[in-house]
Structure 1
Amino acid sequence: MSSPTRSGEPHSPGTRTPGFQRQIGPLQATAINMTQMCGIGPFVTIPLMVAAMGGPQAMFGWLIGAVIALADGLIWAELGAAMPGAGGTYIYLREAFQYRTGRLMPFLFAWSAVLFIPLIMSTGVIGLVTYLGYLVPGVVDANGDTTALGHTIGIAVVALVVFALYRRIGQIGKLTTVLFAIMLCSVFAVIVASFLHFDADLAFGFTPGAFELFGGPFWTGLGAGLMIAIYDYLGYNTSAYLGAELREPGRTLPRAIVYSILGIAGLYFVLQLGVLGAVPWEKITESSSIASLVFEQAWGTGVAKVLTVFIVITAFGSVFAGLLGGSRVPFEAARDKLFLPWFGRLHPRLNFPTVGLFAMGGITALGSLFTLADVIAMLTTVFVLVQSVAQVAALTVLRRRQPGLRRPYRQWLYPVPSIVALIGWIFIYYQSGTQPVLLSIGWLVVGVIAFLIWARAEKTWPFGPKEIRESYLDDRTKEVGA
């Protein structure tokens, strides 16, 4: 196969996606990331993390997770700064893998993203309903399981989020900043409440033999713990999906990613430490609304109910921010005629992808009907394969294939962060369990079959010529024989 022709200076990607408006600045981009990252996550997963790692040593699980998230974030930063379009990973995989496998990889990502992105949002809805159970009788039962009333409320919440997103991006950015402020208030309230009754003996009372290399609960539970930690860090890439709507994306995107990961990592560690020092770890594992329990212990039931409302709003904010970014993913694929064409339409007046918003909202509502643990396991295995591992390869391929690509940011200490991220993702995938792994592989197999049907109909690779379009390098297109 011959190489595509390259000529001219790299074009600025600042206006590549028509219709979108660049109105999101650094503060709003960071707020969008952090609102999506925190959301309800730590408030519902702290008990799961402590149980998985067998005691207070769970606090170190957050730190290891932060290392993996930061290493992966530096991959996103370079790719997103160089190719700031709507869709994030879809664009990166399209540009990197077109030389060998045509459009297979971006197709598989779009195919999978319409599943795993809404599943991430579903966990926010599940957590919201769980904490609402502290305020409203009948939402959860005595075992902490969601009732029919709770499921109905969850679906109504998704409908409200979709309604809130049905507006211009400038208005959404302002609303996201407000939700971000509420999220910070919720986290700091839990931290303050926990440290009012902080007991160092509880916080640092590690399980005997916890760190023994062979058989210690820290190491045996690290795989499950990292899956939970990574789930809680997910969202540092949300602004990359909004690349076509960022001001000065080459500067805004890397900063928003790094600042949001470091900020949330610090908050998570202090939050986990405070809770461990306020409540015995055995009791933490039995609680479905641990933040409300900490509030009640510190200030009584009345204040606990008021602050629980803040946590419910925080959960709403995470779903809001996630669907905001996720609804843009199939848009770019549809514009490339690689996905259903309806997803490529923008609202004629408000300039946002309507079908993507409604479709992902519907899947989010459906996912909210399942348990939190099941949803986390399924979404983790799917995105590790088609996004995380694939992007490690994409960064390396693009450095070799497109050395002239304009890169406002280049990964620090390359390729060390890429190697750290790859090892972390492989370990998490391996530890996720047989059923989620098999389901993720099955989903990809079906996706490959769907791609082959589409490729056959479109007479493209592997049933026709392979089109090489280096969209962010130059405007030339070269048809290359399969």
Structure 2
Amino acid sequence: MNPVIPPDQFPDSSSPAAELPRRLTLLQGTALNMIDMVGIGPFVVLPLVIKTLGGSLFLWAWVLGAVVSLVDAFVWAELGAAFPKAGGSYNFLKISYGEQRWGRLLSFLYVWQTLIQAPLVVASGAIGFAQYASYLLPLEEWQRKAVSGIVVLIIIALLYRKIDSIGKIGLIMWGAVLLTLGWIIIGGLSNAQIPLSETLSSIGSVSGGVLAAGLGQASVKTIYCYLGYYNVCHLGGEIQKPARNIPASMFISIVGIAGLYLLMNLSVVSVVPWQTAQNSEFIVSTFVETLYGPRAAQFATVLVLLVAFSSLFAVLLGYSRVPYAAAVDGQFFKIFARLHPTRHFPHVSLLLLGGLGFVFSLFFRLGDVITAILAMRIVVQFVGQAIGLLLLHRRRAADEFPFRMPLYPLPVVLVICIWLFIFFSTGLTFMLSGLSVIGLGIIAFLISAQFRKQWPFGH
């Protein structure tokens, strides 16, 4: 997209923008978080993590993913409760670094990255959907691409409606997620064929150095499966009682999903030996087939596909609010600030990100997409927000933060160190690709700022 934006293409800052209605409850916000988190990720990542670490060590990667998410959620909770607006990180970065100077650059970079990484997230879910669908019906490569593209188009059609209607759909999808994970957990633990003591016995016999060597690489995959606990922040302008509900929905989501993930992993390896699981492309289907036979495995595959579909629904819903927020703020094309005349949602933003997700789903591979997503987000969004919160605490009084994290600033410093560790664990290629996107974004920002005579080239 052309970064040089004529002044008349921005929303008129002197006129009030149409506000999004606050219709989402705590339950609905939590449901949208959880279905965002539990997409196709845990079902395709589980074998990859086992293969990376071997034996029962893979459980530590899931534990680390939960710890990183929980600590990082304290940062999101403070920012989300204090600034409950559509767009989430866009507003957090702009306010934290100063709305007239560096905040303009950081928030611009976030929107710039969103135009790439949000469609990549959509594409990853669609590609994983097509991969699992091939268990039911063997598909050639071009057929998988067709399936992934069609899934994205259906998601766009479902989201083209009012937010209160979407909240109800989200609750139904949440029920499907809990049903699927519950069946896997109860079925495996109640019909265990491999004692858990045998599965867990190798944890204590491995040195810390060997564990740390593979943990970073494996955790890149598991953390991907936790991403989405902050989806409620992107929908901050549509959440009821945001000072209470935004933090609560995130912590409930993380604790609940972490418990489900760990139980699911234990359940699977209690039925399917980890030596077999690490090479399975359809681990849940293999697991259910071992217990109940081929027909049950086909039904389980359908449930996994429904979970993946639900996650795509929540992902695209949340990210569609980011270009909208930037456009309302005057940092993006005016057309993206438009709400649908009767359904009152940012339909142009939805169509843009959904359309790019459709295109990406036709050209990328799943493993590369997962790592690229994480590498692209870390520097600006996760590390940038954490540092921004430190800056905000220096400028603002404590009573301006409805939610306060315990032991401040230790969680913030800890999460910065962890995210940098994960960033280096993605590998040189993906690190450079993420930094290249940032570099191009800085160039685009400078061109746009110079054209409009704004900071750093004007007042």
Residues 1:199 and 2:194 are matched in the alignment: yes
Q: Distance in 2 between matches of 1:244 and 1:331?
A: 11
Residues 1:213 and 2:202 are matched in the alignment: no
Partner letter of residue 34 of structure 1?
M
Residues 1:231 and 2:224 are matched in the alignment: yes
How far does the alpha carbon of each residue in 1:34-84 deviate from its partner, in whole angstroms, 9 at most, with x for none?
A: 000012111110001111112211112111111110010111011000000
Residues 1:437 and 2:431 are matched in the alignment: yes
Match of 1:407 among 357, 376, 401: 401
**Runs of 5+ consecutive residues of structure 1 not aligned to the other structure:** 1-15, 140-146, 466-482
How far does the alpha carbon of each residue in 1:341-390 deviate from its partner, in whole angstroms, 9 at most, with x for none?
A: 22111111111111211111122223323111100111111100110000
The 8 Å contact of residues 197 and 298 in structure 1, kept in 2 or not, is answered as no
Q: Deviation at 1:205?
A: 4.3
Q: Provide the residue aligned with 1:346 in structure 2.
A: 339
Q: Distance in 1 between matches of 2:324 and 2:194?
A: 51
Q: Distance in 2 between matches of 1:282 and 1:362?
A: 40
Residues 1:112 and 2:89 are matched in the alignment: no
Q: Distance in 2 between matches of 1:237 and 1:60?
A: 23
Q: Distance in 2 between matches of 1:380 and 1:350?
A: 33
Q: Provide the residue aligned with 2:13 in structure 1.
A: none
The 8 Å contact of residues 28 and 170 in structure 2, kept in 1 or not, is answered as yes
Cα RMSD (Å) of the superposition? 1.5
Aligned pair count reads 440
Q: Distance in 1 between matches of 2:103 and 2:416?
A: 23
Q: Distance in 1 between matches of 2:91 and 2:309?
A: 28
TM-score scaled by structure 1?
Answer: 0.89
Q: Distance in 2 between matches of 1:155 and 1:205?
A: 44
The 8 Å contact of residues 17 and 86 in structure 1, kept in 2 or not, is answered as no
The 8 Å contact of residues 202 and 278 in structure 1, kept in 2 or not, is answered as no
**What secondary structure does 2:139 align onto?**
coil
The 8 Å contact of residues 194 and 273 in structure 2, kept in 1 or not, is answered as no
Q: Provide the residue aligned with 1:158 in structure 2.
A: 152
How far does the alpha carbon of each residue in 1:96-144 deviate from its partner, in whole angstroms, 9 at most, with x for none?
A: 11265251110001100121122122221122111111111225xxxxx
The 8 Å contact of residues 131 and 308 in structure 1, kept in 2 or not, is answered as yes
Partner letter of residue 431 of structure 1?
S
The 8 Å contact of residues 68 and 420 in structure 1, kept in 2 or not, is answered as no
Q: Provide the residue aligned with 1:91 in structure 2.
A: 91
Q: Deviation at 1:404?
A: 6.7
How far does the alpha carbon of each residue in 1:140-180 deviate from its partner, in whole angstroms, 9 at most, with x for none?
A: xxxxxxx1011101100000000000000000000000000
Q: Deviation at 1:413?
A: 1.9
Q: Distance in 1 between matches of 2:61 and 2:46?
A: 11
Q: Provide the residue aligned with 2:360 in structure 1.
A: 367
How far does the alpha carbon of each residue in 1:230-260 deviate from its partner, in whole angstroms, 9 at most, with x for none?
A: 1000000001000000000001100000000
Partner letter of residue 137 of structure 2?
V
Match of 2:215 among 215, 222, 228: 222
* Higher mean displacement: 160-169 or 302-311: 302-311
Alignment of 1:43-58 (within 5 A): 43-58=43-58
Point out the structure with the larger helix share: 2
The 8 Å contact of residues 93 and 103 in structure 2, kept in 1 or not, is answered as no
Partner letter of residue 86 of structure 1?
A
TM-score scaled by structure 2?
Answer: 0.93
Q: Deviation at 1:269?
A: 0.7
Match of 1:286 among 279, 289, 295: 279
The 8 Å contact of residues 202 and 279 in structure 1, kept in 2 or not, is answered as no
**What secondary structure does 2:423 align onto?**
helix
**Runs of 5+ consecutive residues of structure 2 not aligned to the other structure:** 1-15
Q: Distance in 1 between matches of 2:208 and 2:407?
A: 30
Match of 2:320 among 327, 352, 364: 327
